[in-house]
Amino acid sequence: MSQPKSHDAPTSRTPSSSRTPTVTPSLPRRSDTVQPLPSPSSTLQRQHLDRPQPHHTQVSPSFHADGSCYTELYPGPQSYVERLQAEEGSAGVDPLRAEDGNVYFSPVVETVSCFKPSRYQSPLMGKENKPLEVGVLRRVKELLVEVDPRTMAKHITKADCMVARILEVTPEVQRMMGVTSGMELLTLPHGQQLRLDLLERFQTMSIMLAVHVLGCTGTTEERACLLHKIIQIAAELKSTMGNMFGFAAVMRALELPQVSRLQETWMALRQRHTEGAILYEKTLRPFMKSLNDGRESCPLSNTTFPHVLPLLTLMEKNAVVGEEGTELWETVEVGVEVVMFHLGAARTIAQLGGIYRSNAESKLQGFGEQAEVLELFLTDFQMRLLWGSRGAEEQQALRYSKFDQVLTALSNKLEPPIRRH
């Protein structure tokens, strides 16, 4: 059985066993995946490390059309966050971690996604596969039913934090990013590719979970049981793992119109799994809305991945992000105060990468990954499962549009819409 390979993050690690899928790919090659940022003024002097270094490109101040500067990343050991700390006396900033204590930042602009579904290898599917292959779907459904919600939440959190560069960020990746954490990078102009990758992961995770609810062609009670399991996973992500990114993705799957319209299924949930229905309707949904509205925050001591979705959709408003982007920013209910709250929150998030990393490491300490379970939540695997080996490389807008039609067809097959005369 071949070992699965994933491209969910830009770093590499040694798997815990020969069967454990590798969550992290190798670094992108500078020649075909990154674009150097403009060089700074010649008055800025280079600072070299003793050991041989690859070619470094530096970042100069960037300006809006009106001439206002929106970022300045200078080479040397001091990052953007550390300058904020010096200016504002803020605490909790992650110190640079390098053997000689002198990291030389050389930020580059990444232009290619870290996800490479066409190169992904998995024991659960062949080198080439069609969309929604029955055998693969059946195995994924079995795992979703068999594995307990907390274990699921840990696997999701591990994969989320690797993609977001919260965990296992090497000094070389720090030099490439120009900062020490992905939470800092996603707030900066040259963090666009990371923002787009996180949006891709969010959308793909939501669709994958929705497919397994809508593709559950058994009894209504079976679908209700799967709904209950997904609700429990969302609750574990929120409360136990403090992973607001994963929580938002799972909640999105439950709130998709093709899922939320299944009246018979939700009625069965209320009858057979009353506690789950109450948890979803009285706690999880209101909490999700409060997060989006800026009326709720999570305890810093418990947070591994903060709620960055509003920031991602705001900064990448031209990206294909589905209806959640519309819901967040294009309704009359969203005022300037909400936008300003999330922009202010972004500034705080950028300064707390070290705390999120420590929290994640603590919650995952001693965590034994299960190869097949981890694989379910790798974006490369999900893309191959949903769109097949060929379709996974298609344009994002086309992929999402096609699958929206698939979800609608599956939903209508389960519970045909009522025709009004």
The predicted-structure confidence for 361-420, as pLDDT tens digits, reads as follows: 999 999 988 989 999 999 999 999 999 998 998 899 999 998 999 999 999 999 998 776
- pTM greater than the 0.85 cutoff: no
**Which portions of the chain are predicted below pLDDT 50?**
1-7, 9-78, 80-81, 84-85, 87-93, 95-101, 321-332
**DSSP, res 362:** H
Q: What's the CA gap between 219 and 110, in Å, rounded?
A: 47
Q: Quick one: pLDDT at residue 247?
A: 98
**DSSP, res 113:** -
Please give the C-alpha separations between residue 275 and each of 7, 93, 252, 367, in angstroms, as whole numbers.
38, 40, 20, 28
79: left (phi over 0), alpha (psi -120 to 50) or beta: beta
Please measure the distance between the N-terminal and C-terminal CA atoms of the chain and give it in whole angstroms: 57
Q: Quick one: pLDDT at residue 336?
A: 81
Joined together, the tokens standing for residue 113 give 């996604």
Q: Quick one: pLDDT at residue 2?
A: 46
Backbone φ and ψ for 34, nearest 5 degrees, come out as: -130, 155
Pairing of strands 62-63, 108-110: unpaired
Q: Which residues does 138 contact at the CB level (< 8 Å), separation at least 6? A: none
Q: Quick one: pLDDT at residue 126?
A: 86
Pick from 123, 198, 147, 173: nearest CA to 384: 123
**DSSP, res 281:** I
Alpha helices in 178-262 (DSSP H): 182-185, 192-214, 220-235, 244-255, 257-260
Q: Quick one: pLDDT at residue 239?
A: 95
How much of the chain, in percent, has pLDDT values that exceed 70? 70
Q: Quick one: pLDDT at residue 284?
A: 97
Q: Distance of alpha carbon 237 from its chain centroid, rounded?
A: 13
Unique residue bearing structure tokens 């959709």: 313
Q: Quick one: pLDDT at residue 59?
A: 42
